[in-house]
Amino acid sequence: MFKAVNDAHMLDLPPLFANIKLKGAEPQQRQPYDVAFVHQRILANGALDDLNPEARRVVYLLCETGLRLSEACNLSAATIDLQSPVPHVRVRAEGRQLKTSQSQRDIPLVGVALMAMRHHPAGFPRYRDKADSLSAIINKVFSSKNLRPNGETVYSLRHTFKDRLRSAGATDEMKDALMGHKRHEPAYGFGYSFESKAELLNRTALRPPLAV
């Protein structure tokens, strides 16, 4: 809250609470979903029917792209390209602040994510700038459907996405390019092409439900 007020009013105050730590506190690693659970339960036919169509298709998008929920909610017609040879979404600031500069990236759409985005070529207006609200809705429905067996949250799908990239043998550079993580070495060249990214994602694509 202090940071938000400091930034909003450009007070340029020092980070008063930066070095304060709670005694005994330990960082918590979010629990990823098991891939088989995503296949058999989350992507089962009708499993997410209690979510409205926009919320349900955001979940499908997250499964195959590893997007942060806020990134998915703020996609727009300008950052969704379904017409190019490799359909994809572009994570861009568009008047907002991205989490990091490396968050800006392009991600091919495959499998259930492509199916979902064909219904939403202009994004998800119901949840634009409302990622926290959508997170609460999804997690509530997941709880009611026993889709959080080990305390997972919708964000756990991003961790599962990275596990799937590891299992597919993706290089660290490829993982960072798709996840929007910071690279700890100088960047050279243009990076991976849409085609090489799509080839990897198609190899790891999940089995979609009959309808999205």
Q: What is the pLDDT of residues 102-124, one digit of tens each?
A: 778 999 999 999 999 999 999 99
How much is the pLDDT for 93? 77
List the 105-108 sheet strands across, edge first: 80-81, 88-91, 105-108
What's this model's pTM, rounded to 2 decimal places? 0.82
- SS3 (DSSP) at 144: helix
Instruction: For residue 25, name the pLDDT band (cuts at 50, 70, 90).
Output: very low
* Average pLDDT value for the chain: 87
For 24, the token pair is 């005994």
The model's confidence at residue 192, banded by pLDDT at 50, 70 and 90, is confident
Residue 2, pLDDT score = 67
pLDDT-derived band at 57, boundaries 50, 70, 90:
very high
Give residue 175's pLDDT band: very low, low, confident or very high (50, 70, 90): very high
- Cβ atoms within 10 A of the Cβ of 9, count? 9
Query: Of 40, 197, 36, which Cα lies nearest the Cα of 106?
Result: 197
Q: For 86-107, what is each residue's pLDDT tens digit?
A: 999 999 976 666 666 677 899 9
